[in-house]
Structures are given as structure tokens and as C-alpha cells.
């Protein structure tokens, strides 16, 4: 008997989501299974619109897998804002949809908010006697799933996942561009300020800071700490420029400021753009522009800026020095483990990515564990130095297996340290002879 599987994309998209579902389909084969994609996530519960899928559905005219998701993502929510309480009409509409579509499986991809909603939906379907089972492919470029490190639940120990699909691509793209931007800093003798997506956690910022060789990272997750002060930032930047002139021969500096950070006197958070989870929209581009303007206006410090937002979810270039191959491998392995769960009739599970003992393993754990929010502050390792504003080597040792086994050497990417002479000094020395 043919089983019918529905795929649903939730929240913000990532680079390799097509790869996850395509790998799942290849692993299962098409003989005993039929596949559909729900158009724009949970919105399909209202519209009924789906895309019948084949492996060819995920290929473009050049026979290359496209970024994002071919049948669309959506942030449409099944719960009341800022709660995990389902809206009765919406959750029942989900039940109505899976029955009308005759689904045996619903495989979703989401972060912490939508992961919880898939768990709620799965439990509701069981209560209603539906045959439809639910699985989740973990997904968020922010890398912030897995719970509080050290927490123990039913034989599982947190973090219940070390990272997520989408994280490697986001950090690699950031780091690759930062290393390229060092040539801008070198040429113009200015600091480069990098702002980026990452929500309210520091995983992406620390990844960019370590693998992109940032001199300073003005971290988020401030909690009770005060906002960073621009006058102190200006002093920090001048200090590292002076240090780098001595070390490399030019006053270069690379500065990372995640959207989840706070800078005194800078407001980059919208009061009007609010998503279905009641998250206020952060604007990294505004953050970069205001910091640049205020440093120049009040502290006589010129800077160049780079901002990365939706590129981190979609772009594949540049692909060096950090390759995106690992990101694709993780997506494919995620699809395979979910396919095995379907074959074995296992539900209520979410994919995991563990980085342990220098190895990377993709597995499964209960949805309600994997989908728990994780912050960098939960780590038992000291990943960040609040005094120097630098990412510590412990972060690299933890995540190196995801990034070519370690970060590249900055000196090999920069021009040779110049030998500089002062013609006026030479002239004066000549006159004195």
C-alpha cells in the first residue's frame, strides 16, 4: 500500500532545505511512497494548495538543486502570539487538512517556535485518531537549538543537538566574505564593521568571529549587562588597528556586531514590523549605518560596513576558503535518517547534528527536546572573553569538524608585511652627516 508524505517548510528558509527533502525521497524511493509539498507552510491548511513532488521537482533547468525550498516557506503560526497554546480553529484546520490530503506522514522543518508547533500538531492528531505521524528536520541558520547544556531528560543529555541545518552555510558565507573584506581594510586603512542576522543568540556571531578572524565581537545575549558604549568601541578599534599595524604592517580591523546586540544610542529594532511569534524585526543594515555614522561624527573614526541578512539563507558564493560541502552533507544525512524513521514507523522525532570527539553525526531525538532554545551562555566551555571582546579558541575546538577541521591562517591570505621607510627621515639623516 502506498504511503503519502507531506513536506512543510516553516519559519525562515535555509540554503539546503530542498536537499533534505530530496535526500529523503531518494532514500525511500517512489514505488511505495507518494510525496506532496505544502505551499507556503501552514498556510496550506487554509488554502489546501500543495505541489505533487518528484525528484525532478527539486531541479532547475541546469539540473542543479536550488536554494531555499521549491514549494515555499511561511512564518504562519498555529499558536497564540508569545505562547505555545494552539489556536483551536487553526489546529483543527491542520487536522482537517491531513485528512483531506490522506497523509500518512507530515515532515516539517523548523526552528524552536515551529518545532514546538509541529510537536503540538502531532499530539493533536493522535488525540483525534489520525493515522498521520509527524517528524521534524531541524533547521535554523542561527544554530540555536538543543536546550541547556548538561540538562538530563529521559536518558538524553543536552545539548540535544549541537547545531542545525543552515548554520554551517551562514557562518561559512560570513567568514569567507570577511576574509575577502580584509583586503578592503588593508587598502583603505579602515576598520570593517560587519552586522548580520542571528536573532538573539551568539552562535553565528561567534562562528563569524572565529573563522573570519574578527578582532572584536560586540556580542549579544547581554542579559543584565549594559549596552556597548560607542566611545569605548572607538577606543577598542583604534587599539586593535595600532596592534595590527605593528603585526601586519597596516591598520586593519574586523568588527562583528550581531543583530541581537545592543549599542548605546543606536536603535535598529522596529516597533512596527512584528512577526507571528511577536518578535520585533531587527535591522542589521540600520545597525551598521548608525554605528558607522556615529563613529565618524562623534569619534572621528571612519569605517566601512558590510551587512548580511537573507544572503546567509540563500547564497552559495564565495565558497572559499570555507567550503559549503559539509552543509550539503548534513542536509543529505538529515533526509536519510528521517527516511529510516519512516520505514521503521517511528514518529515524534526530530533530526539532530552532534559534534563529538572530532566527528559529526546526524541522528534523531524527541521533538520536544531538540526544539528547545539554546544560547551560547549555556555552554560549559568559555567561548567568549567579555574583556577582550574576542571569541576564544574553545569555540573553534568545539565546532572545527564542521569547518574544514579548523580555521585558515590569516597571514596566508593577507599581503606580506611591507617594509616601510620614511624619505624625510632619510633626508634628515643625510643632512646630518
- Predicted local distance difference test score (pLDDT) of residue 243: 98
Closest residue by Cα to residue 128 from 95, 93, 97, 89: 95
Cβ–Cβ < 8 Å for 351, 138? yes
Q: Which three cell numbers stand for residue 298?
A: 562623534
Residues 185/244, Cβ–Cβ less than 8 Å: no
What local confidence, expressed as pLDDT, does residue 427 receive?
63
- Please report, for residues 14, 25, 335, 359, 407, the alpha-carbon distance to residue 247 in angstroms, rounded to integers and kept in the order given: 38, 53, 46, 35, 19
Q: Which domains does the chain have, with CATH numbers?
A: 3-165+324-375 (3.40.50.450), 170-318+378-411 (3.40.50.460)
Is 218 within 8 Å of 240 (Cβ atoms)?
A: no
pLDDT at 277 (0 to 100): 63
Provide the greatest CA pair distance for the chain.
100
Burial 388-405 (b: 16+ CB within 10 A, else e): ebbbbeebbebbbbbbee
Write out the three cell numbers for 185.
Answer: 581594510
Contact 347, 135 (CB under 8 A): yes
Q: What is the pLDDT of residue 253?
A: 98
CA 140 to CA 144: how far, in whole Å? 7
Residue keyed to cell 544525512: 333
Alpha-carbon distance 313 to 309, whole Å?
8
Q: What pLDDT, on the 0 to 100 scale, is given for residue 363?
A: 98
pLDDT value for 428 = 55
**pLDDT for the residue numbered 320:** 85
> What's the confidence (pLDDT) of residue 431?
53
User: What is the per-residue pLDDT across 229-251, written as a single tens digit (0 to 9) for each?
Assistant: 999 999 999 999 999 999 999 99
| HEC letters along the chain | CCEEEEEEEECCCCCCHHHHHHHHHHHHCCCCEEEEEECCHHHHHHHCCEEEECHHHHECCCCCECCCCCCCEECCCCECCCCCCECHHHHHHHHHHHHHHCCCEEEEEECHHHHHHHHHHHHHHHHCCCCCEEEEEEECCCCCECCCCCCEECCEECCCCCCCECHHHHHHHHHHHHHHHHHHHHHHCCEEEEEECCCCCCHHHHHHHHHCCCCEECCCCCCCCCCECHHHHHHHHHHHHHHHHHHHCCCCEEEEEECCCCECCCCCEEEEEECCCCCEEECHHHHHHHHHHHHHHHHCCCCEEEEECCHHHHCCCCCCCCCCHHHHHHHHHHHHHHHHHHHHCCCCEEEEEEEECCEEEEEEEEHHHHCCECCHHHCCCCCEECCCCEECHHHHHHHHHHCCCCCCCHHHHCCCCCCCCCHHHHHHHHHCC
Instruction: Confirm if 218 and 237 have CB atoms less than 8 A apart.
Output: no
- pLDDT by residue for the chain (433 residues), tens only, comes to 899 999 999 998 999 999 999 999 999 987 899 999 999 999 999 999 999 998 887 766 554 567 889 899 999 999 998 788 999 999 999 999 999 999 999 999 999 999 999 999 999 999 999 999 999 999 999 999 999 999 999 999 999 999 999 999 999 999 999 999 999 999 999 999 999 999 999 999 999 999 999 999 999 999 999 999 999 999 999 999 999 999 999 999 999 999 999 999 999 998 888 876 677 889 999 999 999 999 999 999 999 999 999 999 999 877 789 999 999 999 999 999 999 999 999 999 999 999 988 899 999 999 999 999 999 999 999 999 999 999 999 999 999 999 988 999 999 999 999 998 888 986 655 555 5
* C-alpha cell recorded at residue 415: 599581503
Q: Give the per-residue pLDDT at 404.
A: 86
Confidence (pTM): 0.95
d(CA 360, CA 400): 10
Which pLDDT score is estimated for 316?
84
Amino acid at each position: 500500500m502506498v504511503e503519502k508524505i507531506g513536506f512543510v517548510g516553516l519559519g525562515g528558509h535555509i540554503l539546503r532545505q530542498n536537499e533534505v527533502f530530496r535526500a529523503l525521497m531518494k532514500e525511500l524511493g517512489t514505488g511505495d511512497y507518494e510525496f506532496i509539498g505544502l505551499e507556503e507552510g501552514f498556510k496550506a491548511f487554509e488554502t489546501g494548495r500543495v505541489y505533487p513532488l518528484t525528484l525532478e521537482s527539486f531541479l532547475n533547468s541546469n539540473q542543479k538543486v536550488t536554494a531555499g525550498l521549491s514549494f515555499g516557506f511561511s512564518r504562519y503560526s498555529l499558536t497564540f502570539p508569545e505562547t505555545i497554546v494552539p489556536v483551536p480553529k487553526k489546529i483543527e484546520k491542520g487536522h482537517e487538512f491531513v485528512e483531506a490530503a490522506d497523509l500518512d506522514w507530515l515532515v516539517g522543518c523548523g526552528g524552536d517556535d515551529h518545532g514546538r508547533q509541529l510537536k503540538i500538531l502531532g499530539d493533536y492528531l493522535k488525540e483525534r485518531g489520525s493515522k498521520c505521524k509527524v517528524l521534524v528536520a531541524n533547521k535554523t541558520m542561527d544554530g540555536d537549538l538543543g536546550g541547556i547544556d548538561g540538562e538530563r531528560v529521559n536518558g538524553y543529555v543536552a545539548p540535544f543537538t549541537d547545531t542545525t541545518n543552515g548554520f554551517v552555510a551562514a557562518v561559512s558565507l560570513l567568514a569567507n566574505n570577511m576574509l575577502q573584506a580584509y583586503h578592503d581594510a588593508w587598502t583603505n586603512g579602515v576598520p570593517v564593521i560587519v552586522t548580520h542576522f542571528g536573532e538573539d543568540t551568539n552562535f553565528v556571531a561567534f562562528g563569524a568571529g572565529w573563522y573570519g578572524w574578527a578582532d572584536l565581537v560586540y556580542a549579544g545575549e547581554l542579559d543584565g549587562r549594559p549596552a556597548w558604549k560607542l566611545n569605548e568601541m572607538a577606543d577598542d578599534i583604534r587599539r586593535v588597528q595600532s596592534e595590527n599595524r605593528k603585526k601586519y604592517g597596516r591598520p586593519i580591523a574586523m568588527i562583528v556586531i550581531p543583530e541581537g546586540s545592543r549599542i548605546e544610542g543606536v536603535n535598529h529594532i522596529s516597533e512596527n514590523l512584528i512577526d507571528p511569534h511577536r518578535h520585533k524585526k531587527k535591522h542589521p543594515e540600520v545597525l551598521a549605518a548608525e554605528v558607522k555614522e556615529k563613529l565618524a561624527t562623534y569619534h572621528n573614526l571612519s569605517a566601512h560596513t558590510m551587512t548580511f541578512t537573507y544572503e546567509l539563507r540563500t547564497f552559495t558564493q564565495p565558497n572559499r576558503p570555507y567550503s559549503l560541502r559539509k552543509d550539503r552533507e548534513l542536509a543529505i544525512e538529515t533526509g536519510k535518517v528521517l527516511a529510516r524513521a519512516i520505514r521503521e514507523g517511528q514518529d515524534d522525532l526530530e533530526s539532530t547534528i552532534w559534534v563529538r570527539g572530532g566527528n559529526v553525526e546526524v541522528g534523531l531525538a524527541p521533538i520536544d527536546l531538540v526544539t528547545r532554545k539554546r544560547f551560547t551562555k549555556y555552554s560549559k566551555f568559555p567561548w567568549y572573553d567579555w574583556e577582550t571582546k574576542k571569541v576564544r579558541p574553545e569555540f573553534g575546538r568545539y565546532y572545527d569538524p564542521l569547518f574544514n577541521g579548523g580555521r585558515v591562517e590569516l597571514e596566508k591570505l593577507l599581503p606580506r608585511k611591507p617594509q616601510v621607510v620614511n624619505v624625510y627621515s632619510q633626508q634628515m639623516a643625510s643632512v646630518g652627516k
